[in-house]
Amino acid sequence: MAKIKTRDRILDTSLALFNALGEPNVTTLLISDELDISPGNLYYHFNNKSDIVSELFEGFELQMHDLLAVPADVSISLDQQNFFLHLLFEAVARYRFLYQDLVNVLSRHPRLQPKFRKILKLKNTAFHTICTSFSAQGLMTIGTEELATLCDQLTLTTCYWSSFDTLSHLDDRNAVDPGRGVYQTMCLMLPYLAEEEKEQALLISRSYL
């Protein structure tokens, strides 16, 4: 078995600590102690904690850009949308430290702000593409203004569900439940779905509870 590189161990451990304790509460000393390496060894790979956050964000950004590249010229099924939401909330759960303290994290790391705004726009566009595909297939009935509002609500839910979920178990920030995020997101779409698709969507969404 290949040995994990120290740099990767630092990133993995930092991500786990950021998620469990909150990024502001984690220091480079705590990270090095957790890894049982010297602070000098950590600084050999990263100049400071901000560099660690930035590299973790790069991994998150790559995953989001790949996931949110929803093709606009294909017919999207409910099952495909369900799989999309599943992957989206799994990614949010993996990098939940970003979302649980979003405004403060972006304030402390301003170079991430334009990148996160781009991800927000990509999320909104992806939801718009999915709903437009549903409408074209007769699976959904929704007006232009309602569609814009719905896409904003869906984007908002994917951004703040992790923070909302954490409030119910502040004593254990590792107790995440991305499935409930999928459920809530699908429920937002239910009123606009055709009756047959609504029943199917309900069955799918309830499987996440």
Q: Are 48 and 28 in contact (CB under 8 A)?
A: yes
Please name which of 153, 135, 148, 145 lies closest in space to residue 194, comparing C-alpha atoms: 135
37-59 per-position pLDDT tens digit: 999 999 999 999 999 999 999 99
Write down how long the chain is.
209
Tokens matching residue 10: 């630092």
Alpha-carbon gap, residue 35 to 43, rounded angstroms: 13
Q: Is the pLDDT of residue 130 over 90?
A: yes
Higher-confidence position of 22 and 169 = 22
Residue 157 has a CB neighbour count (10 Å cut-off) of 19
Measured between alpha carbons, how far is 105 from 22 in angstroms, rounded to an integer? Answer: 10
| Residue 58 to residue 55: CA distance in whole angstroms | 5
pLDDT recorded at residue 1? 45
User: Which CATH number describes the domain made up of 49-206?
Assistant: 1.10.357.10
pTM score, whole prediction? 0.91
Report the alpha-carbon angle 166-171-177, nearest 5: 35
Which residues share a beta bridge with 140?
193
What is the pLDDT of the chain when averaged over all its residues? 92
Q: Where in the chain are the domains? A: 49-206
Q: Identify the pLDDT of residue 3.
A: 60
User: From CA 181, how far away is CA 89, in angstroms rounded?
Assistant: 7
Q: Which amino acid is at 160?
A: Y
